[in-house]
Amino acid sequence: MAASDGFPASFYGEPGVLGMLSNGISAFLVLLQNFNTAHNGNAPVGVENILAGVHLILIGGVCQLVAGLLSFRKYDHLSGTAFIGYSALWASYGATRIYYGALPENPNMTLTTDQMMSNSSTNMMSNMSLNNSTQCYLCLSMEESAIAGLVPYIILSFLLAFCSATVNYIMPFVFGAITATLIFEAVALAAYSWALIVSGVLELLILIFAIYGSAALLIKGLTQRLALKGFGTPLFNVLLLGTPNSGKAQSGGQEKKKNTKYAEPMALSFFCDSIAPFIFAFYSFGYMKSFGLGVAWVSIISVAQLFSSYYAHLRQDCYHTTKFGLHATYWLIKAWEEFVVSVLIVEDGKVVSGREAMVGDWFFVVAALVLCVGSLNMDVLELIHNLFFVLLTVSTVPQIPLQGYYIFFGVACSLFTAVSIYGTFTRLINTIAEKSLIPVGPQPVSSEKLIRTLRCRRSKQGDQDVLPPGDQTSDALFYLSNGVAALSALHSRSMSTNPSLLHLTIPWVLISGAIIQAYVSRLQVTGGGRFGSVISSIYVVVWATWTWFRFAGNQLQLSTEAGYGFTAGAIAFLVINAFLMLIAAYRNLVLLFLTMLMEVVLVCFLLSTLNKLPYELEIAMLALVSLICIYGTLASLINYMFSQRVMPMGPPLFKEKIKSEISEKHPCPVASSRLTSGLLKIAQLLEEGGVCGIPTDTVYALSASCKNPQAIEKIYNIKDRPAEKPICICISSVEQLVAAKPPFSPLLWEFMRNVYPGGISCIVSKGDWLFKLGVGAAYDRVGTRDSIMIRVPDHTVTCHLCDMTGPLAITSANPSGEPDSTHHSMVINRLGHKIQGVLCDGDSNEVVASTVVNCLRIDEGIITIVREGCVPAVKVHQIFERLKNTML
């Protein structure tokens, strides 16, 4: 069941093999260095450190990142979070090794064992004689930076080990050994080199556990059996963590249907939101003297957070796409700002003069408040997390005096870290259990009340407030990135030559306007909008060029000839932006106003290349761009969250000539599932030999009555379905099977009673019992020669239809090889001219089809997952193992 937007989870094998091997091999690389240092007293230097760092980044970072991404596609919340989190850890540790190796070698680095036992790493670095004072200043803070990065990973690794104990009993040992290793690595960095030996022993344990776990998963993937112990059975039941009120619904989340195609990325983002502020807290309280190495750690974990935003986008979750992208942007900008402050500027007086003229932080404050509004209909934990982010953004307002700036920032980071760690734990446990076991609080405001409060106009009777088709989950993040860049680029004539301001502004405009907007452009490519990523892609180049000329230009001392080159570029931008205005006119007025203001901003950029810039006009235009972007962010976020036009974005100036769905004559008869007459109409069409689209508990399906074999043959022609692919039958209940008296074993009967009704299809042996079931003349046209797949959907309408018509032959309602249909309009548009009717039921309950389980060898204690769909394969195996252990 390949789809244009991705493959089903079963196509991704067992990414846990790659993830655990990456951890094991990375630990082995560090082990070799640790044992060598402890034995010879020679700390690795130069090329040795650089090569070790590169290997850690490639194996522990990149390979494990791939494992994490594949785990998210397998709907594995824990593995996806753990592998991407650990990939950031190993990549950061690799960057630290490279950083060490890039420093000039020092003879004092060769010490005896006694000296190593008595001297701290800090003293060793302080004894190094460096020709460059900046390099000396940086190396003094390397150990502190590494420790600041390791401590939050220790806490979160412990949480991962604890959470993994609710899934199996191999991962807890792997993650637990990593936790202990990080503790002793930090101790070794602090002062005590004997900890290197203990760390090396623990790293050997990581390797052993990882090899065994990888072998167990590999064999499981190849044989579809749990041949080696360790997976399938948790150390303890996750339900034991439940509170007395855990059974009650605690939140009214944004998503209307459960998306089981991709795992939930919320825990990963909370994970990232724990690491970055923890490092900033150490820095703010004076533990780290420089942010030279800290910028690498924060940048890497911010990239991991962008992946959580990406998977939220794939889940069509606008709120979390925006939130995670905003947080990643904030951490990246603050990290590189502090790098500039501590490494390039250094002097407090210059820092103050540069920061006082910056206003970009205020956009983050307002954006954080927008997120608070968006989270009012979620849960208390989400709202509290956003409120602490507001506090965090306020603490970094540059107008705060320098004496209190870092104290305020450090306290805010500490509080935000505490909430994020709790959020990581709750999101992990609750997603593993698929219910709210750990308290997250009730929904602060109901969705209906929030919509009424935010709606800017009174709805008229019959008014269609549906979301325009061009809107995308990434629109809010698009407005955010442009708003931050515009407000950050704002500065007066008197400050235009201040070198400190120019240095500090570069990361603000470049990261938000170019780097993050390039990421938004990637999201919009897959978003399905008519004009794709045209506008965002052009603005990536605009802001990058703006940074190069306006802020880096003075530092680079560009020649007059180079300035003329930028003049030509500015003219080209003006022409291109005119076309962007035309595109925006097809979308909405907010986007049109933004492109019009950007046209004036580009005129200012052109005048600046000619040294004739009217600063007052530029300040006014950039401020207006920021205001438009704030409103665009709020409106896009709220409208997409509720899938309707709650806040006006303005009508498009140019409208495509599209016929209204209400007045359009459908290519086939349609009926409403909410009306008895509609159900009777579809049942009659099926009885007459027609093929109809019907809703199920997963996605929409094409159906034909088993009383009409010719109708089943039509399905193959309608879908262009290969003849070798069998069609399953759908019945209303297990009791129908019982009445037919098939020769099923007690284990198979018990398995069916545990999975039916629901999103699981079972393949069983064919037999004469099918005639008693009512399959009749369709016996040879459903299933294969020896087997048949049976569905019992958890859907009242479908089951009632089966009671009226008898067993139905069904298959997904999409042309073969194309995405499944998740709304009746998709069935009508794609297949309406080929079928005899559609039973309309709105959005489907799922976005992927059922999970198919081969039960032909169930009596031997074996089941096989033929296709993983809406029900995770892990859950199916857990049900089967529990039943097998009970009955055998």
Q: In this structure, is residue 469 part of a structural domain?
A: no
**Out of 56-60, 393-397, 433-437, 708-712, least confident range:** 433-437
Is residue 762 predicted with pLDDT exceeding 50?
yes
Domain end: 222, 247, 263, which one? 222
Residue 402: its pLDDT value, please? 80
List pLDDT tens digits, range 26-46.
999 999 888 888 777 777 778
Mark whether 98 and 168 lie in a shared domain: yes
Is residue 699 predicted with pLDDT exceeding 70?
yes
Is residue 369 predicted with pLDDT exceeding 90?
yes
Residue 467: its pLDDT value, please? 54
Residue 560: its pLDDT value, please? 65
Retrieve residue 837's tokens.
Answer: 């009717």
Q: In this structure, is residue 394 part of a structural domain?
A: no
Mark whether 619 and 675 lie in a shared domain: no
Torsion, Cα of 77, 81, 87, 89 (10° steps): -160
Specify the number of domains making up the chain. Answer: 3
Is residue 54 predicted with pLDDT exceeding 70?
yes
Q: In this structure, is residue 357 part of a structural domain?
A: no
Is residue 761 predicted with pLDDT exceeding 90?
yes
Mark whether 618 and 679 lie in a shared domain: no
C-alpha angle 273-275-281 in degrees, rounded to nearest 5: 100
Helix, strand counts (H, E) of the chain: 34, 10
Mark whether 743 and 849 lie in a shared domain: yes
Residue 494: its pLDDT value, please? 62
Mark whether 581 and 690 lie in a shared domain: no
Is there a contact between 747 and 858 (Cβ–Cβ < 8 Å)?
yes
Residue 87's domain comprises 7-104+140-222
Q: In this structure, is residue 324 part of a structural domain?
A: no
Is residue 227 predicted with pLDDT exceeding 80?
no
Is there a contact between 83 and 64 (Cβ–Cβ < 8 Å)?
yes
State residue 773 phi and psi, 5-degree precision.
-70, -25
What is the average pLDDT score of the chain?
Answer: 83
Give the pLDDT band of residue 301 (cuts 50, 70, 90). very high
- Which residues, other chains included, contact 83 with Cβ-Cβ below 8 Å and sequence gap of 6+? 15, 19, 22, 64, 65, 67, 68, 71
Rounded Cα distance between 145 and 800, Å, is 64
List pLDDT tens digits, range 399-425.
888 888 899 999 999 999 999 999 999
- Domain CATH code at residue 700: 3.90.870.10
Mark whether 78 and 171 lie in a shared domain: yes
Instruction: Give which of 373, 395, 398 is closest to 386, Cα–Cα.
Output: 373
Give the pLDDT band of residue 304 (cuts 50, 70, 90). very high
Mark whether 727 and 603 lie in a shared domain: no
Per DSSP, 856 falls in state: T
Section 747-761 average pLDDT: 92
Residue 111: its pLDDT value, please? 37
Is there a contact between 703 and 809 (Cβ–Cβ < 8 Å)?
yes
Residue 701: its pLDDT value, please? 93
**Out of 461-470, 617-626, 825-834, least confident range:** 461-470
Give the pLDDT band of residue 643 (cuts 50, 70, 90). confident
Is residue 355 predicted with pLDDT exceeding 80?
no
Q: In this structure, is residue 780 part of a structural domain?
A: yes
Is residue 658 predicted with pLDDT exceeding 80?
no
Mark whether 678 and 614 lie in a shared domain: no
Domain end: 188, 222, 256, which one? 222
List pLDDT tens digits, range 104-162.
654 343 333 333 333 333 333 333 333 444 444 445 467 788 888 899 999 999 999 99
Mark whether 680 and 574 lie in a shared domain: no
Is there a contact between 630 and 643 (Cβ–Cβ < 8 Å)?
no
Is residue 496 predicted with pLDDT exceeding 80?
no
Section 236-262 average pLDDT: 52
Is residue 486 predicted with pLDDT exceeding 50?
yes
Give the pLDDT band of residue 625 (cuts 50, 70, 90). very high
Rounded Cα distance between 801 and 19, Å, is 46
List pLDDT tens digits, range 158-202.
999 999 988 888 889 999 999 999 999 888 887 677 888 898 899
Residue 145: its pLDDT value, please? 82
Mark whether 586 and 676 lie in a shared domain: no
List pLDDT tens digits, range 497-546.
677 878 888 899 999 999 999 999 988 886 555 566 889 999 999 999 99
Is there a contact between 52 and 268 (Cβ–Cβ < 8 Å)?
no
Rounded Cα distance between 298 and 167, Å, is 30
Q: In this structure, is residue 813 part of a structural domain?
A: yes
Rounded Cα distance between 205 and 207, Å, is 5
Give the pLDDT band of residue 239 (cuts 50, 70, 90). low
Retrieve residue 118's tokens.
Answer: 């008595």
* DSSP string of 188-203, one letter each residue: HHHT-TTHHHHHHHHH
Mark whether 704 and 637 lie in a shared domain: no
Q: In this structure, is residue 686 part of a structural domain?
A: yes
Give the pLDDT band of residue 587 (cuts 50, 70, 90). confident
- Return the higher-pLDDT residue of 468 and 577: 577
Domain end: 222, 252, 276, which one? 222
Q: In this structure, is residue 608 part of a structural domain?
A: yes
Retrieve residue 378's tokens.
Answer: 């979620």
Q: How far is CA 435 from the centre of its chain?
A: 20
* DSSP string of 255-309, one letter each residue: -SS---SS---HHHHHHHHHHHHHHHHHHHTTS-S--TTHHHHHHHHHHHHHHHH
How many residues would you count in the chain? 888
Is residue 873 predicted with pLDDT exceeding 90?
no
Residue 224: its pLDDT value, please? 59
Residue 665: its pLDDT value, please? 72
State residue 827 phi and psi, 5-degree precision.
-65, -45
C-alpha distances in Å from residue 476, one per residue of 84, 382, 646, 652:
25, 18, 15, 18
Mark whether 601 and 734 lie in a shared domain: no
Is residue 223 predicted with pLDDT exceeding 80?
no
Instruction: Give which of 516, 652, 486 is closest to 581, Cα–Cα.
Output: 652
SS3 content of the chain, % helix, strand, coil (to 5): 60, 5, 30
